[in-house]
Amino acid sequence: MSIFLTRPVINTEEERNAKADILELINFERFCRDNAQWDEMRKCFAKDSFVNISWYQGDGDGFVTASSKSPTYAPHKIHNSLTWLNGDRAVTIMMATIQNRRTIKGVACELSTDTQLLFSTQKIDGQWYIVRFESIYEQDRLIPVLPDATLSMDSAALAKYRQSYACMSFCMEQSGIGANQELAGRDRPETVEKIYTDLKKWLEEGIR
């Protein structure tokens, strides 16, 4: 029976408790990321975890280290989260907006990136850990912070980037960081389908 992306019909008390534990784990991991609690953030990842996002690909430990060295403050506005559970494995989709302020052509701007944050978690020795973390990029925007300010940009400057995260890619390049242009995004539905298929196989069959 299919589990992933289907409506939970019955949740036992044990399942509800597990989902609550998982949600607390991933919310805490994001809290640590936004508030520079690096030692506690590191405890959220399994030893063999993997992270694949716009600016980092590698293990969870390296992700925490790289995050601690990042000069950019980019807090997350978390909207809603859904978890699908299968024994000691679970997948959670967290809808979130990544926010970041920066100056573009002398104008204070806010970059907002709408994403699905995808957490694969596993219960190991009685404790839930993040074993994989990745994203689906939906859309983004770059707007002046002050209402009387104007940002004048040639649209061609964004044309070379993926539509789902063009503004983010532009800003990353301005900071000297290249953005991976092969990530899952709404502008390429096949990439979203693939990542969902991979998550389903892992959750339901343990196949990665």
In a domain, 6, yes or no: no
Q: What token pair was written down for 78?
A: 């978390």
In a domain, 3, yes or no: no
Average pLDDT over residues 149-157: 85
Distance between CA atoms of residues 35 and 46, nearest Å:
21
In a domain, 1, yes or no: no
In a domain, 191, yes or no: yes
In a domain, 5, yes or no: no
Question: pLDDT tens across 104-140, in order?
Answer: 889 999 999 999 999 999 999 999 999 999 999 999 9
Neighbours of 42 (CB within 10 A): 17
* Predicted confidence (pLDDT) at residue 86 exceeds the cutoff of 80: yes
Exposure of 63 by Cβ count < 10 A (0-12 exposed, 13-18 middle, 19+ buried)? buried
| Amino acid code (one letter) for 161 | Y
Question: pLDDT tens across 171-207, in order?
Answer: 988 888 888 899 999 999 999 999 999 999 999 998 8
Largest CA distance in the chain: 56
91 Cβ contact list (under 8 Å, min separation 6): 4, 83, 84, 118, 119, 120, 121, 199, 202, 203
pLDDT value at residue 180: 86
pTM tops 0.75: yes
User: For the chain, how many structural domains are there in total?
Assistant: 1
The Cα angle at residue 174 between residues 168 and 179, in degrees rounded to 5? 45
Contact 113, 69 (CB under 8 A): no
Confidence of residue 1 (pLDDT cuts 50, 70, 90): low
Domain residues for the domain of 194 are: 13-205
In a domain, 135, yes or no: yes
In a domain, 7, yes or no: no
CATH number at residue 65: 3.10.450.50
In a domain, 2, yes or no: no
